[in-house]
Structure 1
């Protein structure tokens, strides 16, 4: 339980999510890493180049860390869950709390994760569909409606001549590993409790 909770600290060292944009004119794809405290380019000038491309189709510039409340709140949430998980792990080791608290931590973390993904998807939707009507380039769908440029939440999507992929990054995989370890802690506690009952 303690080790699983501490795995969440990887989110402070590694990106949570990665979005890559590849096109014939960009043999080296452009990319951005989404951290819990801000957005960074995969390479030095990627964010600048993405903003330059987005300007032509009327998309907003990629927000700075202080322009989104999430980048202030998410680190605090992760720190809180790490402290709570370690505290429960210590109490569990001392036989002061029931193993079911470990499952409670996992459920709470899962709910927070789903809410985070929902918020991320709302941001992507706004980012890709709330376009400047005075943009230099306007592309419409076959039915005449304005085309949106929302990157996929997860997976691959074709946007004009760009191949866009959106995938979990190292921070997310460490978080998934940590959450899995807390489920293991719950199962170990459940089996231990079951064997004691049977005795």
Structure 2
């Protein structure tokens, strides 16, 4: 399964079918309110970058970098909470029940859930997003230290 900025793609019907047995909710594109506001946030962030470039202001750059980091932190927090809810709020009438077990997918990395192996990692655009955050942060600290 791939989660894009505005859609869920891949083997979603198969995943929904398997997850039914342990009581997980089905995954549908319409369940993600993030698909509405994240594209807008990204476009506004890019427009802010153009504005920072035109203003040539360090203060504007610092604000822009902080906005990027806040968007990233909110995104990861939201995704973690979604995964937590998805893996812990199970249907009590599910065909398969393992007392005390939750099925929360990892935010990043690998996890084995019963006989299923789950790997969660960014795709190419996600890695570029992470790299942009690192570059912005490094430049910000370099500029602060240079003062």
TM-score, length basis structure 2: 0.88
Rounded Cα–Cα distance in structure 1 between residues aligned with 2:50 and 2:140: 14
Tell me how many residue pairs correspond in the alignment. 146
Partner residue in 2 for 1:60: 25
| Structure 1 segment 121-136 matched on structure 2, within 5 A | 121-136=80-95
Select which of 112, 124, 130 maps to 1:158.
Answer: 112
Q: Offset of 1:178 from its aligned partner? A: 2.9
Q: Offset of 1:103 from its aligned partner? A: 2.2
1:86 aligns with 2:40: no
Larger of the two Rg values belongs to structure = 1
Rounded Cα–Cα distance in structure 1 between residues aligned with 2:126 and 2:21: 32
Q: Which runs of 5+ in 1 are unaligned?
A: 1-31, 93-97, 195-199
Residue-by-residue CA offset, 1:42-75 (whole Å, 9 max, x unaligned): xxxx1111111011111111121x2221110111
Change (3 A) 1:186 1:122: closer
Give secondary structure in 2 for the equivalent of 1:57.
coil
Conserved? CA contact 1:99–1:186, under 8 Å: no
Instruction: Identify the structure with the greater strand proportion.
Output: 1
Rounded Cα–Cα distance in structure 2 between residues aligned with 1:156 and 1:179: 23
TM-score, length basis structure 1: 0.67
Partner residue in 2 for 1:76: 40
Q: Which runs of 5+ in 2 are unaligned?
A: none
Quick one: higher RCO (CA 8 Å, sep 6+), 1 or 2? 1
Give secondary structure in 2 for the equivalent of 1:158.
strand
Residue-by-residue CA offset, 1:15-39 (whole Å, 9 max, x unaligned): xxxxxxxxxxxxxxxxx11111121
Give secondary structure in 2 for the equivalent of 1:157.
strand
Partner residue in 2 for 1:105: 64
1:118 aligns with 2:72: no
Instruction: Identify the structure with the greater helix proportion.
Output: 2
